[in-house]
Every structure is written in structure tokens, then in C-alpha cells.
Structure 1
Amino acid sequence: MISRPVLDALNDITVSEIRELDFSRLVGLVNEPNMPSGGGRTVRRVLELTRPRPGRRLLEVGSNTGYTSIEIASWVDNPVVGLDINPVSNEFARKKAAAAGIDNVTFDLGDGRSLPYDNGEFELVFCSNVTSFMDDHRRAAAEYYRVLAERGVLAAVPIYYRTTPPEDLRRRVEKAIAAPLPVTSLDYWIDVFSHPEATLIVEEPYEYVRQSAERIEGYVDSVFRQPHLEQQPEEKRTALRKRLTYFYELFDENLSYAGYSILLFRRAHPNPEPVLHESRRVVGAGS
């Protein structure tokens, strides 16, 4: 399932270079699943709430190694497109889809700030937290809406801070992801993804649960059971493993200050008026 360019990249990289890799570049080498917050549960929840119309094209911006696009395609008959800026990750995604026998998904190379698609082309545009890695959040959101069909849905799953993190921690995460990491809030992202022609129809907030060192180690073990990593020289394999573990532990600490939300904005929703007497779900009530 591993492509020749990826194997060549692994063979060429040195141990000292591995120690300086940012998370995105490391993911492309080790084929880390890089799933959205909440994993497959989030993807399935989005599909449950949006119910894409048959035959319409669906887009994921920031598909990385393919987890979300493949998960979507495995549940619907619609043609699914994953778009990512990293050609190595794209190649991983294609191989993974082919190995799973998922033939209604394709992967394109491109930038979320300038999507290579026609206006109104997609029924659903899904973006996890990829927008936060871009230097112009509003430009990216405008592109998402440009390619979104009438009565289509923009599904965003942004990560934001519920409480302010220590500055040293924020800076370490910023270096790890090789992108600016401003302290954003849920309100900020709702504002970014809002559009004059769209209605926020779903807002589901979640908070992260801290993971034990043992659970993180077990997850790293699962990543490194892949044949292309097992075959690496021990020194290189140890360096890759140590770098991935560092990122997981760092992100786990950072996420203790953070949360994420499933946000669904429907374009040209026929009933856009606000609700006067709002309500909330009763949790734990008897039948």
C-alpha cells in the first residue's frame, strides 16, 4: 500500500532530520491516520445530520492521508473528493482507498484557499481543523462557499480554546504544526464560517478527555506495526517513534485547554428565521 516516493523519502531522510520534522511532514512518512476530532464518530454524525442527496459530489478540504474521505465514501454512494496540499499524503490516501476497495473516492492536489473546482459543484464541503493551518481563514471559508451548491452544507469541525493555555505550551504546539496558532474561540470560528446566504443549523460542542501515557504508547504501537515502518533500520525507527510520541503527548496537553464543535451551515436554507423560545436536550431523563 506504500508508494515508491514515500519509501524513497524514508530511505533518504536522516535521523537528525527526523528530529526536526513538523507533524504534517511526519504524518506523510508514517501514514498516521490523522482523523478529525472525534474520529469516525464525527464523520458519521455529519452524514447523519446532512443526509447528502444521491448522486451529488462531496468534498473534503484537507484530506491528508485519507481517513475522513474514505470513511465518508464507505457510507454513501456519492462521488467523494479529497483535496490536500501534500502529494505524499495524497498518494497514501489513494493506496489506502484502493486496498479497502473504496472506488467512489478520488484525491486531488490543491490549496484550500484556491479550490480547483467550479462554482456550486459540491453538495457537502467538509473541513475538519485544516482551516486553522491556513494564513487567511476568511479567504478559505469564502472558497468553501464558492464551490458549495444551493441547499448544500458546509460542515466544519474546528478546534478552539475553552480556556487560555500557557504561552510556552502554545508556542511549542505552534512550532510542532509549523503554522501560527492564535488563541481562538468557538465564537471566532462561527463568525469565520458564517455567510450571508447560509444558516447555522447545527452547533454541537465537545470537550477532550486526557489520555494516559499507556494509551498514547499503545496508539503509537499500532502506527508502527505497519510493514514499511517495521522494515526501517532500528535507529531511524526509534527516532520516528520518539518524534511521533512527542507530538501526541504535546497535543494531549494542549487539548486539555481546548474543545471542538460540529458546525453545519446550510446554504439557502428555506427557513432561516431564528427561534425565540430556545430549548436544549434533556440528558439522562427517563422514558
Structure 2
Amino acid sequence: MVSQMVLDTLSEITVSEIQELDFSRLVGLVNEPNMPSGGGQTVRRVLELARPRTGRRILEVGSNTGYTSIEMASWVDSPVVGVDINPISNDFARKKAAAAGISNVTFELGDGHSLGFQDREFELVFCSNVTSFISDHRQAASEYYRVLGDRGILAAVPIYYRTAPPEDLRRRVEDAIGVPLPVTSLDYWIDVFSHPDATLIVEEPYEYVRQSSDRIERYVDEVFQQAHLDLQSEQKRAALRKRLSYFYELFDDNLSYAGYSILLFRRAHPNPEPILHQARLAFRGNA
């Protein structure tokens, strides 16, 4: 399933270059699933809440190695398009979809700042946490709405800080992802994704669960069972593994200060009025 592009890059890259890779470039080489917060459960929850109509086009911005776009396409009878700036990740995503027999998904090169689609072309636009990696958050959100159709859903799953992290940790994560990492809040992201013609219809907050070092290493073991990584020299394989383990440990530490939310905004919602008497789900106690 691995592309010749990945094999060529791994053949040419040096151990010292591996040690300097940011997370996004490393993911493309080791074919790490790179799923959204909450994994497939989040993707399925978005589909459950958004209920895209059959046959209407769905867009994922920041599809990376294809996990979310393929998961969506496996559940809906609609065309799904994944857009990402990394050609290596796109190539892997195409091969993964083909191997799974998922024919209603395609992957294209693209940038969230300027999407190559017509206005109001999509029923559902899903952006997970990719907007954090785009330099101009509000320009990206404007593009999402430009391609979103009437009564369509913009679904975002942003990661934000519930409490401020130590500055040294924040800087190390910033270096790891290769883009600025401001200390943002849920309110910040709601403001970014808000639009005069859209209504926030769903806001579901989640907290992260800390992972043990043993579980992280078992996950790394799973990633490194891929045949194309077995082909690498012992030195390169060790360097790739060490780099990936470093990122996972770093991110787990960072996420202990963070949370994420499923946010759904509906364009031209016919009942945009706010609720005065709000409520929460109640559980009946044992009799």
C-alpha cells in the first residue's frame, strides 16, 4: 500500500534529517493513521449529528493519510473529497481507500487558505483540528463557508487549552508541529468558526485521558509493523521510531492541559433563535 514516493524519500533521507522532522512530515513517511481527536467515534458522531443527505458532496480539509475521509465514505452513499497539502499523504490515502474497496472517496492537493472548489459546493465541510495548522485561522474559516452549501454543516473538532500549559511544553509542541501554537480557548474557536449566516447547533466538549508510556509504546509497535519500515536500515528505523515515540509522549503531556469539542454550525438554519432555559441530560438514580 505504501507509495514509491515514500520509499524514495526514505531511501534518500539521513538519520540526522529524521531527527529534525516535524510531526506532519514524519506521519507521511511512517503512514501513521493521524485520526481526529476521538478517532472513528468522533467521525461517526459528526455524521450522526450532521445527517448529510444522500448524494450530496462532503469535504474534509486536512485529510492527511485519509483516516477520516475513508471512515466517512464507508458510512455514506455520497462522494467524499479529502484535501491535503502533503502529496505523500494523499498518495497513501488513495492506496488505503483502494485496498479497502472504498470507491466514493477522492484525495486532492489543496490549501485551506484557498480551496479549489466552486462556491456552495458541499453539504458537509469537516475540518477537525487542521485550522490550528493554518496560519490565518479566520481566512481558512471564510473558505470553509465559501464552499459550504445552503443549510449545509460546517463541522469542526478544535483542540484548545482548558488550563494554560507550561511555556516550555508549549514551545516544544510548537516546534514539533512546525507552526505557531497560541494558547487558545473553546470560546476562541467558536468565534473563529462563527458566521453571520450560520447557527451553532451542536457543542459537545470532551477531555483527554492520559496514556501510559507502555500503551504509547504498544501503539508505536503497531505503526512499525508495516512492511515498508522493515525495509529500512536498523539506524533509520531506530531514528524513526524514537522520533515518533517522542512526539506521542510530548503530545500526551500537552493534551493533559487540553480538551476538544465537536462543533457543528448550520448555514441558513431556519430556527436560529437562542435558547433561554437550557438543560442537560439527566440520569435516573437506582430505585
| Same fold by TM-score greater than 0.5 | yes
Tell me the amino acid that sits aligned with residue 201 of structure 2.
Answer: I
Alignment match, 2:208: 208
Alignment match, 1:243: 243
User: What CA RMSD, in Å, does the superposition of the two structures yield over aligned residues?
Assistant: 0.9
1:285 Cα offset (Å): 4.6
How is 1:194-205 mapped onto 2 (pairs within 5 angstroms)?
194-205=194-205
For 1:78-93, list aligned pairs within 5 A. Answer: 78-93=78-93
CA distance in 2, matches of 1:246, 1:274: 45
Distance change (3 Å), C-alpha of 1:284 and 1:62: farther
Task: Report the 3-state secondary structure (helix = DSSP H, G, I; strand = E; otherwise coil) of the residue aligned with 1:202.
Answer: strand
Alignment partner of 2:64: what SS? Answer: coil
TM score, norm. by length of structure 2: 0.99
2:129 match: 129
What residue in structure 2 maps to residue 13 of structure 1? 13
Q: Distance in 2 between matches of 1:230 and 1:284?
A: 53
The sequence identity of aligned pairs, in percent, is 79
Count matched residues.
287
CA-CA distance at 1:230 after TM superposition: 1.4
Moved over 3 A (4+): 283-287
Distance 1:36 1:137 in 2: 18
Shift of 1:286: 5.6
CA distance in 1, matches of 2:285, 2:151: 34
C-alpha distance in 1 between matches for 2:194 and 2:69: 24
Structure 2, gaps ≥5 residues long: none
The 5-angstrom pairing of residues 1-287 of structure 1 reads 1-283=1-283, 285=285
Q: Alpha-carbon deviation of 1:231?
A: 1.6
Q: Distance in 1 between matches of 2:18 and 2:146?
A: 39
TM-superposed deviation, 1:233: 1.0
| Counterpart residue type for residue 153 of structure 1 | I
Q: Cα deviations across residues 81-126 of structure 1 (Å, max 9, x unaligned)?
A: 0000000100010010000000000001010110000000000000
Name the CA shift for 1:139/1:251 in 2 (closer, same or farther; >3 Å). Answer: same
What residue identity is the alignment partner of 2:98?
A
TM-score calculated relative to the size of structure 1: 0.99
Q: Distance in 2 between matches of 1:80 and 1:166?
A: 39
Query: Which string of whole-angstrom CA distances, capped at 9 and with x for unpartnered residues, describes residues 127-157 of structure 1?
Result: 0110011110000000000000000000000
Query: Hey, what's the Cα distance between the residues in 1 that align with 2:166 and 2:283?
Result: 33
Residue segments in structure 1 that go unaligned for 5+ positions in a row: none
Describe the superposition over 1:40-83 as per-residue Cα deviations: whole angstroms up to 9, x where unpaired.
Answer: 00000000011100110000000000000000000001000000
Can you list the C-alpha shifts for 1:215-263, whole angstroms capped at 9, x where unaligned?
Answer: 0000000000000011211111000000000000000000000000000
What letter matches 2:236 in structure 1? Answer: K
Q: 1:117 to 1:183 in 2, by over 3 A?
A: same
